[in-house]
Structure 1
Amino acid sequence: MPELPEMENYRKMLTANILNIPISNVIINREKSINMPPADFTAGILDSKVIFIERRGKYLIFHLNNGRRLLLHLMLGGLIHLTRGDEERPSRTTQIEISFGDQVLYFIGLRLGYLHQLSAKETEEALSQLGPELLDRRMTKERFVDLMKKRRGSLKSLLVNQHAVAGIGNCYADEIAFHARIHPAAKVQSLSEEQLGQLYESVHHVLKEATEGGGYMEMPFTKDDTLTGQYNDQCKVYDREEEACVRCGTAIVRTEIAGRKAFFCPNCQHEE
C-alpha cells in the first residue's frame, strides 16, 4: 500500500504537471471507485482547475477552484499514471480517467481505493480521525516523545496506526524500527527517553530518504519518470527475509505482529 513517501512523491509530480489546467474530460470505468453517480461526479469537476494539491497521511487532496475537493486514497494495489499527447495509455485496467488538456491522469487498481468528490467540510470530517503528521515542522522531538509516552503496545502496531500517527504503513514501520535499532515488537511504554528520541530521528531520516528516493511504487508516474519506485532497492529489511543485514550480516527474519508481517534483524534489534 502506498505510504507517506509514495504519496508525497505523487503530490510533487502532480503539482508540477496538472495545476491550473481545466479538466476537459472525465471517464468513470468503475462506479464503486467514486462516491456519487458518474454524471454528478463529472458535472462537479468538469471545466474546473486543480489549484493546490495537499497530502494528509496516505491521502491526497485535490483542491479545485470551484471550492470542491477530490480525496484520493489508493489503498492496496492502487497507483496513478499520467500520459501526454499521443503517448500510449497504460496496459492495465483503469478505474477513472481525468483529462487536463492533452494530458490524461489514470487511476489504476482502485478496487479498494477511491476518489471521492467532497466539499471542504466533508473533506475535513473524512480526515478528522487521522493522527498527526510526523514530518510537520511543529512536531518537535519533545512533542514526539511526549506523544509516544502516552501510547502502549508494540512499536510496529503504533507506527501503522493511522489514528496515532499518519502516513506510515508496513514498509516504513519496519525500516524506521531497523534504523532506530529497536525490535518492531518492543513495547512502546518500555522504551527509554533516549530510544524515543532516536525513534524521532529515525522517522525523519527514513521518510525523507524514501521520499527523495521516489518510494517503492512499481510503475513510473510518467513515461520519462526515472525516480518513482527507486527506493524499493534501498529498503534494508522490508521484504528482505533471509538476506544479510547491511549492518552486521545476520539473516533478516520475518515474523507476525498483531496479524501484520514484520521484518527485522535479530542481532541489531532487540525487544529489551
Structure 2
Amino acid sequence: MPELPEMATYKTLLNQQIGGKTITGVTINREKSINLGSDNFKNKIKNQQVEMIERKAKYLLFHLKNGDVLLLHLMLGGWMFYGKAEQKPDRTVQIQLEFGDQYLYFIGLRLGYLHLLSRKEVGQGLTDLGPEPLNVNFSLESFLDLIKNKRGRIKTTLVDQAFLSGIGNRYSDEIAWHAQLLPERKVNDLDHREKAQLYQSIRFILSQAIENGGYMDQPLFEGDIKTGGYHKHMYVYDREAKACKRCGSLIIKADISSRKTFFCTNCQY
C-alpha cells in the first residue's frame, strides 16, 4: 500500500503535470470506486479546474476551483499513470480523468477509491488522523508527549494512523531498523534515548524515501525517473534472507500482529 513518501511523490509530480489544468472528460469503469452515481460524479467534476493537489497522511486531495475536493486513497495495489491514450498501461483502469489529449488513469482500485466531497466533509472525515511526522512543528518534545502513554509494540504503534499519519507496513520496518530497535518491542519499555532515536529515525527514513521517490513499481508518466527510486535504498523490507546492510547478518521475516515484518536480530535490540 502506498504510504506517505509515495503520496508525497505523487503530489509533487501531479502538481507539475495537472496543477491548473481543467478536467475535460471523465470515464468511470467501476462505480464502486466513487461515492456518487457515475453521471452525477461526471457532471460535478467535468470542466472543473484542478487548482492544486495536497497530501494528508496516505491521501491525496485534488482541490477543484468550485471548492469541492476529490479525495483519493489508493489502498492496496492502487497506482496512477498520466499520459496520452497510446501510452496507457495494459492494465484495467477503474477511473480516468481527461485533460485535453492527456489522461490521468487510476489503476488497481479494487479497495481504493476517489470520492468527491466538500472541503467540510473532507475535514470531518480526516479528523481521526494523528500528527504529520514531517511537519515542522512536530518536535521531539511533541513526539515524547504523544508516545508517553502508549503500550503497544513499536510495529503496531507506528502503523496506527491515529498515532502518526502516513506510516505503513514498509516504512515501520525501515524506521525500526534505522533506530536499531526490534519492531516487537513494547513502546513503554523504551528509555529516553531509544525514544529520541525512534523520533529521529522516523524523520530520517521518511525524508530519505521522499527524496528518492518512494517505492512504487510503476512510473507516473513516460520519462518519470523519480517515482520508485527508494527501492535500492531499502534496508530490510522484503529482504528476507539477504545480508543486513549494517552488520551482514541475515534479515528475518516474521508476523507481528498479522503483519509481515522484516528485521535483523543481530543489530536491532
Aligned pairs for 1:128-139 within 5 A: 128-139=127-138
Partner AA of 2:57 in structure 1: G
Alpha-carbon offset, residue 102 of structure 1: 2.2
Within-5 A mapping of 1:173-212: 173-212=172-211
Q: Which residue of 2 aligns with 1:11?
A: 11
Structure 1: 4+ residue segments shifted above 2 A? none
State the alpha-carbon separation in 2 of the partners of residues 121 and 2 from structure 1.
25
Give the match's secondary structure for 1:121: helix
Matched, 1:67 2:34: no
> What one-letter code is carried by the residue in structure 2 that aligns with 1:73?
H
Q: Give the deviation of 1:148 after TM superposition.
A: 1.2
- How many Å apart are 1:87 and its aligned residue? 3.9
Preserved CA contact (<8 Å) 1:21 1:101? no
1:68 is matched by which residue type in structure 2? D
Give yes or no for contact 1:248–1:267 (8 Å, CA) kept in 2. Answer: yes
Q: Which residue identity is paired with 1:13?
A: L
Correspondence for 1:21: 21
Q: Map 1:151-190; keep pairs closer than 5 Å.
A: 151-190=150-189
Q: What TM-score, normalized by structure 2, do the two folds share? A: 0.98
Matches within 5 A, 1:52-63: 52-63=52-63
Q: What is the aligned partner in structure 1 of residue 89 from structure 2?
A: 90
Match of 1:118 in 2: 117
C-alpha distance in structure 1 between counterparts of 2:148 and 2:256, whole Å: 20
SS at match of 1:189: helix
The TM-score, its normalising length taken from structure 1, stands at 0.97
**8 Å Cα contact 1:71/1:116 also seen in 2:** yes
Tell me which moved more, 66-75 or 94-103.
Answer: 94-103
Which 5+ residue runs of structure 1 have no aligned equivalent?
none
Match of 2:104 in 1: 105
Q: Percent identity?
A: 51
Q: How far does the alpha carbon of each residue in 1:90-115 deviate from its partner, in whole angstroms, 9 at most, with x for none? A: 11000000011222100000000000
Report how many residues are paired: 269
Q: Distance in 2 between matches of 1:87 and 1:18?
A: 19
Distance 2:126 2:134 in 1: 17
Report the Cα distance in structure 2 between the residues aligned to 1:218 and 1:31, rounded to whole angstroms: 26
> Which amino acid in 2 is paired with 1:263?
F
- Kept in 2, the 8 Å contact 1:180–1:199? The answer is yes
Give the unaligned 5+ runs of structure 2: none
